[in-house]
């Protein structure tokens, strides 16, 4: 014990030593602060993101948190008019299909440069299209989710899952005219050109930082320096840094952007995965906005002066019916499926369980989509009629296995257990026995209902990617799937014909007919369109909530 006691002199010596250490530490490292950084007067906005971005090369990405950032850095040829799903010019001033729909001619905006000084012209456009098409390696191709969805396949497919490529070639007729040739017409165009994955990137930077090097080592992928550190586009902001430790992605105003000049000097995305933590950060003024506030918080947030902006709905929640499930024989009878539709009280459900702005779904595409029609067969709540239909079908003693997911919220389904309870109570009231099966979303649910088809009924939904009905109904009912277990060649044919119909009125009309057909056949029951919201602080102005979560921050001010 005695040895541990410090004499006064030793104590003084120790304090001195600590001081000296601090001084020497200060001497060994230099502050890297920029003096007088900023300089502009547009200010800084900090937005709370719910998750890490994956990388910054949008072609290899398919999730929202990454797109939120790349949308500010890059422009697409065509874009969505703010706040809507309508198309408007972006890098292309005009776009025209040939009569057969196999050729798209883009008239490009002139005098545009990427933020690294590379000119944006028809050569750059073709460079991008060719890059996607010629991408090599199973790892790289497997991450080009949207490309594979829209363009089917590559110059050399690395997996049997890809089909024949839709893309054929691209010619730069003159600097301001790019012509994209396709092997077949596709209904997804022109709307699919607005997909953030198909943004135009600087050929110089792509080459310099070896953008196509996607390597797979063990059970993971690593991406190029381009994708991590040097994304270069024409957008209103340019990429500054990604600080992994702090979870901050910093962008600054791109002064050379000809398309949309940003009002902010700096735009920072701060990753805060916990919803409650995002709310706290907004309250404290640490951030000036965040996405997907919980519907239960709308009122509270508004009382505190925050602005809750509800997006126009661009999704659909449905109750799936499996015609090859345990009770498949009965469910093959359209009368039984109609009975289910008449038997559930969707009005009541939407009013009592869903956030503001939600609406009853009458078909499988939301109202903002071209191809939506009001002239479909409707199934208003009518339990008496439902019982009668069941009787006529000889299905009075029906037991159905009803699957619903847990551990998940989706924009179209804030609380799956709530949806399940409402639906199953209604179905019990018309005399159907319900066997509930709850499974974790990423723990067997999607496998069970989409791969194995163990269910009779299930809950699922979809958020649209672009303004094309095929993105909804084509995805759901375009072919035979374990999820719905029906084989209806007539419907499959109609969907494929609608997809191939030329853009414009004829295209919309074709899908209107398909939607009518679907609501007569009733392979599933559309329940609701449920809009997600985005919240910003009281001083934020100019942010337009988009049905496609395509919010662009160039119009935003924070003062």
Partner 1 sequence: MLRFLVRRLLQAIPTLLILSILVFAWLRSLPGGPAAALLGDKATPEKIANLNHVLGLDQPVVIQYFKFLGRALTGDFGASLVSTQPVMSEIGTFLPATIELGISAMIVAVLIGIPAGYISARYHGGAADNVIIVLTLIGVAVPVFFLGYMMQDLLAGPLGLPSQGRQAAGLDATAITNFAVLDGIMTSEWDAVWDAIRHLILPAFALATIPLAVITRITRASVLEVLNEDFIRTAHSKGLTEPVVRRRHVLRNGLLPVVTTIGLQTGALLGGAVLTERVFNFRGLGFLLAEGIERRDYPRLQALLLFGALVYVLVNMLVDVSYGIIDPRVRVR
Binding to partner 1 (CB under 8 A) within 83-142 occurs at 138-139, 142
Please, what is the minimum distance in Å from the beta carbon of residue 476 to partner 1? 11
**What are 247's two structure tokens?**
């979870």
Q: Which is nearer to partner 1, 342 or 462 (CB)?
A: 462
268 touches partner 1 (CB under 8 A): yes
304 touches partner 1 (CB under 8 A): no
Among 103, 181, 450, 488, binds partner 1 (CB under 8 A): 450
253 touches partner 1 (CB under 8 A): no
CA pair distance 329, 241, nearest whole angstrom: 58
Report how many residues bind partner 1 under the rule CB under 8 A.
74
Q: In what order do the strands lie in the sheet with 92-97?
A: 92-97, 103-108, 177-182, 167-174
245 touches partner 1 (CB under 8 A): yes
Judged by CB under 8 A, the chain residues 415 through 444 that form the site for partner 1 are: 439-444
Among 272, 376, 423, 540, binds partner 1 (CB under 8 A): 272
Residue 405 bridge partners (DSSP)? 439
Q: Which is nearer to partner 1, 7 or 284 (CB)?
A: 284
Listed residue (150, 224, 159, 212) closest to 186, CA to CA: 150
Q: Which is nearer to partner 1, 1 or 99 (CB)?
A: 1
Could you count the other beta carbons within 10 Å of the beta carbon of residue 558?
A: 19
Among 207, 433, 451, 541, binds partner 1 (CB under 8 A): 451
- DSSP readout, 543-556? ----TTS---GGG-
280 touches partner 1 (CB under 8 A): yes
354: left (phi over 0), alpha (psi -120 to 50) or beta: beta
363 touches partner 1 (CB under 8 A): no
**What are 531's two structure tokens?**
């809009």
**What are 260's two structure tokens?**
């949309």
Judged by CB under 8 A, the chain residues 378 through 417 that form the site for partner 1 are: 410
Please, what is the minimum distance in Å from the beta carbon of residue 61 to partner 1? 10
CA 52 to chain centre: 15
Residue 308 bridge partners (DSSP)? 535
Cβ atoms 528, 314 nearer than 8 A: no
Burial of 34 (C-beta count, 10 Å sphere; 0-12/13-18/19+): exposed
Judged by CB under 8 A, the chain residues 9 through 28 that form the site for partner 1 are: 22, 25-26, 28
Please, what is the minimum distance in Å from the beta carbon of residue 516 to partner 1? 26
Please, what is the minimum distance in Å from the beta carbon of residue 33 to partner 1? 5
Q: Which is nearer to partner 1, 66 or 517 (CB)?
A: 66
Among 42, 54, 71, 432, binds partner 1 (CB under 8 A): 54
CA pair distance 273, 258, nearest whole angstrom: 34
Residue 436 bridge partners (DSSP)? 402
Q: Which is nearer to partner 1, 339 or 524 (CB)?
A: 524
Q: Which is nearer to partner 1, 133 or 476 (CB)?
A: 476
Listed residue (61, 92, 95, 99) closest to 77, CA to CA: 92
Judged by CB under 8 A, the chain residues 152 through 191 that form the site for partner 1 are: 159, 161
Phi, psi of 475 (to 5 degrees): -65, -40
CA pair distance 255, 82, nearest whole angstrom: 22
Judged by CB under 8 A, the chain residues 313 through 342 that form the site for partner 1 are: none
Please, what is the minimum distance in Å from the beta carbon of residue 409 to partner 1? 12
CA 247 to chain centre: 21
Please, what is the minimum distance in Å from the beta carbon of residue 115 to partner 1? 21
Among 12, 19, 20, 63, binds partner 1 (CB under 8 A): 63
Judged by CB under 8 A, the chain residues 211 through 240 that form the site for partner 1 are: 216-223, 227-228
Could you count the other beta carbons within 10 Å of the beta carbon of residue 538?
A: 10
Judged by CB under 8 A, the chain residues 494 through 513 that form the site for partner 1 are: none
Residue whose tokens read 């422009």 = 75
Residue 347 bridge partners (DSSP)? none
Q: Which is nearer to partner 1, 246 or 351 (CB)?
A: 246
Q: Which is nearer to partner 1, 125 or 144 (CB)?
A: 144
């Amino acid at each position: 014990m005695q040895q541990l006691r410090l004499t006064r002199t030793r104590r003084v010596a120790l304090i001195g030593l600590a001081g000296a250490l601090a001084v020497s530490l200060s001497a060994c490292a230099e502050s890297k602060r920029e003096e007088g950084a900023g300089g502009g007067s547009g200010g800084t906005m900090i937005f709370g993101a719910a998750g890490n971005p994956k990388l910054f090369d949008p072609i290899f990405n398919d999730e929202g948190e990454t797109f939120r950032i790349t949308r500010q850095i890059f422009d697409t040829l065509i874009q969505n008019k703010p706040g809507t799903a309508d198309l408007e010019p972006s890098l292309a001033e005009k776009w025209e299909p040939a009569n057969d729909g196999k050729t798209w001619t883009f008239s490009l905006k002139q005098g545009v440069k990427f933020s690294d000084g590379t000119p944006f012209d028809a050569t750059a456009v073709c460079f991008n299209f060719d890059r996607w098409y010629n991408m090599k390696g199973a790892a790289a191709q497997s991450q080009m989710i949207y490309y594979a969805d829209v363009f089917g396949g590559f110059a050399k497919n690395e997996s049997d899952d890809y089909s024949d490529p839709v893309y054929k070639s691209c010619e730069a007729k003159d600097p301001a005219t790019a012509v994209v040739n396709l092997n077949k017409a596709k209904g997804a165009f022109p709307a699919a050109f607005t997909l953030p994955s198909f943004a135009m990137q600087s050929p110089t930077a792509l080459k310099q930082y070896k953008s196509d090097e996607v390597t797979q080592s063990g059970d993971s992928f690593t991406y190029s320096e381009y994708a991590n550190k040097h994304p270069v586009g024409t957008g209103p902001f340019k990429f500054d840094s990604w600080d992994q430790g702090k979870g901050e992605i910093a962008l600054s105003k791109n002064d050379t952007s000809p398309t949309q000049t940003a009002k902010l000097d700096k735009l920072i995305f701060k990753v805060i995965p916990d919803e409650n933590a995002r709310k706290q950060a907004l309250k404290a003024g640490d951030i000036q906005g965040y996405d997907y506030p919980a519907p239960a918080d709308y009122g509270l947030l508004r009382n505190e002066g925050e602005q809750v902006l509800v997006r126009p709905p661009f999704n659909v929640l449905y109750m799936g019916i499996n015609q090859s499930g345990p009770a498949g024989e009965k469910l093959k009878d359209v009368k039984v499926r109609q009975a289910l539709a008449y038997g559930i009280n969707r009005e009541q459900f939407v009013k009592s369980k869903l956030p503001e702005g939600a609406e009853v779904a009458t078909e499988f595409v939301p109202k903002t989509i071209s191809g939506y029609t009001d002239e479909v067969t409707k199934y208003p709540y009518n339990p008496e009629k439902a019982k009668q239909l069941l009787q006529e079908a000889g299905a009075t003693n029906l037991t159905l296995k009803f699957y619903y997911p847990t551990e998940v919220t989706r924009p179209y389904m804030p609380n799956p257990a709530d949806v399940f309870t409402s639906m199953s109570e209604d179905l019990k009231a018309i005399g159907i026995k319900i066997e509930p099966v709850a499974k974790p979303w990423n723990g067997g649910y999607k496998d069970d209902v989409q791969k194995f088809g163990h269910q009779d009924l299930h809950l699922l939904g979809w958020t649209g990617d672009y303004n094309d009905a095929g993105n909804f109904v084509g995805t759901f009912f375009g072919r035979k799937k374990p999820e719905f277990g029906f084989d209806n060649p007539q419907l499959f044919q109609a969907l494929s014909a609608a997809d191939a119909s030329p853009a414009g009125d004829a295209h919309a009309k074709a899908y209107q007919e398909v939607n009518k057909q679907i609501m007569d056949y009733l392979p599933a029951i559309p329940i609701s369109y449920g809009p997600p919201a985005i919240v910003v602080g009281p001083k934020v102005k100019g942010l337009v909530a988009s049905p496609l979560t395509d919010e662009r921050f160039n119009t935003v001010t924070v003062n």
